[in-house]
Chain A
């Protein structure tokens, strides 16, 4: 690859939730094997735009720097990605950075993904094991199943799937594919299975599984290759059975 002198960035800035947004452009000296975070750090050290104007450092979030926490997710050239694993050498320039659009903005590239955690609470995405006495050990999980479930457990609540999903937006209450997929994970667990109904029930709600429009964007957007649409299809079947059963027993 021909050596590039600089890396050109176009970043959407916004000082706060109700402030107007603006574009700022930056040029970073090229080095090999940079990622978007390391470039943002360069900007932080020297917050001067391409036009030579001094500005405030760009605000963003990150934690793990190895694509497991999801905190650094932002729109990079129009699509949701992790800034820490987005390698400059693989991106078309100018590199356009924007905050995710499906979550309330905090500042610049930082958004508040709390709604995703609320959705996980809604669908009871955990396994209750507390009792007033020792409940003993749970049933064993077959190794093949554990390996399969591990793939689903890789979800880092990053929001790429929410960003790509046309059914998640300010007009809809759809909880999105990630939370639905977690229902499958926890219902597949031999102990979690005992509370299956607590997770299926909220999926029948407004904003639940029926609000998926089957565009199948989520599965392509997920950085962890979680088979989201397969999980949704499976839970469609499960919720159909569950709803029918509940109705017939009334």
Chain B
């Protein structure tokens, strides 16, 4: 039987993976590290944000390595989510839970990112604004879930990515992402305490 070769399918999937991993993933890690500077107090945090924002061409960089990849990834990712059909009610395997949670977290992450960007990038980004937002329980919940989901997504997909490279399961890298979740959670508790 002849196969009808759709030569781009494989490529699109792999590019989608890479988009998730390289620009988005690196950005996420960068972003998290940046956020950790909030531990150094309001002044340090505001100064760093200011430095970031006054980089020449920062907008182009953001567009090229952050916005466009995320948008492409999210649109195609949503299609991929649609082509799956969870059966968690019948097969209650741990990995099957991850499968569904990673898809939910992906979708939630889009919402989160849109609102987050709307509020901070185009609004006023400083320590006080964030602190105010996070001091409302709902705001905190929204953020905590957003970050945990974003990181969870990333962690899960990274494992998936290793699988695509031919490694079977847990990798030291995925372990380190767990540590990352720990860091972010701590950060929130800290932020809230301030």
Task: Output the residue of A202, A204, A240, A243 with the most chain B CB within 10 A.
Answer: A204
Chain B's closest residue to A244 (CB) is B14
B11 A229 Cβ-Cβ under 8 A: no
Pairwise interchain contact B93-A204, C-beta atoms closer than 8 A: no
Partner of B80, one of A164, A213, A216: A213
- Interface positions of A from 168 to 183, Cβ below 8 Å from B: 169, 171-172, 174
Report the Cα distance A106→B21, complex, angstroms.
44
- Residues of chain B lying within 8 A (CB to CB) of residue A239: 10
Q: Cα distance A229–B7 when bound, in Å?
A: 24
B168 CB contacts on chain A under 8 angstroms = 229-230, 233
Contact A233 B4 (CB under 8 A): no
Which parts of A96-111 form the interface with B (CB within 8 Å)? Answer: none
A98 to B164, CA, bound (A): 34
Let me know if B95 is at the binding interface, CB within 8 A: yes
B56 on interface, CB distance cutoff 8 Å:
no
Q: Which residues of A contact B10 (CB under 8 A)?
A: 203-205, 208-210, 239, 243
Tell me how many residues of A have a C-beta within 8 Å of chain B.
41
Q: What's the minimum C-beta distance from A221 to chain B, rounded to whole angstroms?
A: 7
**B40 at interface, CB cutoff 8 A:** no
Question: CA A17 – CA B166 in complex, angstroms?
Answer: 40
Q: How large is the interface on B (under 10, 10 to 19, 20 to 34, 35 or more residues)?
A: 35 or more
Once bound together, how far apart are the Cα atoms of A226 and B110, in whole Å?
37
**B136-179 at interface with A (beta carbon < 8 Å):** 159-160, 163-169
A interface footprint on B85-101 (CB within 8 Å = 1, 0 otherwise): 11101110101101110
Check B9 for interface membership: any CB of A closer than 8 A: yes
The reply to whether B163 and A215 form a contact with Cβ atoms under 8 Å apart is: no
In the complex, whether A61 has a CB less than 8 A from a CB of chain B is no
B55 within 8 A of A: no
CB of B121 closer than 8 Å to a CB of A? no
Q: Does A167 reach chain B (CB closer than 8 Å)?
A: yes
Instruction: Give A155 Cβ to nearest chain B Cβ, in Å.
Output: 19
- The answer to whether B166 touches A234 (Cβ under 8 A) is yes
A83 within 8 A of B: no
Cα–Cα, bound, A163→B181 (Å) = 33
Which partner residue on chain B sits nearest A163 by CB separation? B87
Central interface residue in A122, A169, A206, by most chain B CB within 10 Å: A206
Task: Say whether B6 contacts A205, CB under 8 Å.
Answer: yes
Closest to A234 in B: B166
Assess whether A217 is interfacial by the CB under 8 Å rule.
yes
Q: Is B122 an interface position by the 8 A CB rule?
A: no
Q: Is A224 an interface residue (CB 8 A)?
A: no
Residue from B4, B93, B166 within 8 A of A217 (CB atoms): B93
A/B interface sample: 16 pairs, CB < 8 A: A121-B1, A167-B83, A172-B84, A174-B83, A203-B10, A204-B10, A206-B6, A210-B10, A214-B163, A215-B98, A217-B91, A221-B91, A229-B169, A239-B10, A243-B10, A243-B14
The 5 closest A-B pairs by CB, nearest first: A237-B166, A215-B99, A210-B13, A169-B85, A204-B10
Measured CB to CB, the residues of A under 8 A from B are 75, 78-79, 118, 121-122, 164, 166-167, 169, 171-172, 174, 201-206, 208-211, 213-217, 220-221, 229-230, 232-234, 236-240, 243
Point out residues on B near A: beta carbons under 8 Å: 1, 3-7, 9-11, 13-14, 80, 82-87, 89-91, 93, 95-96, 98-100, 159-160, 163-169
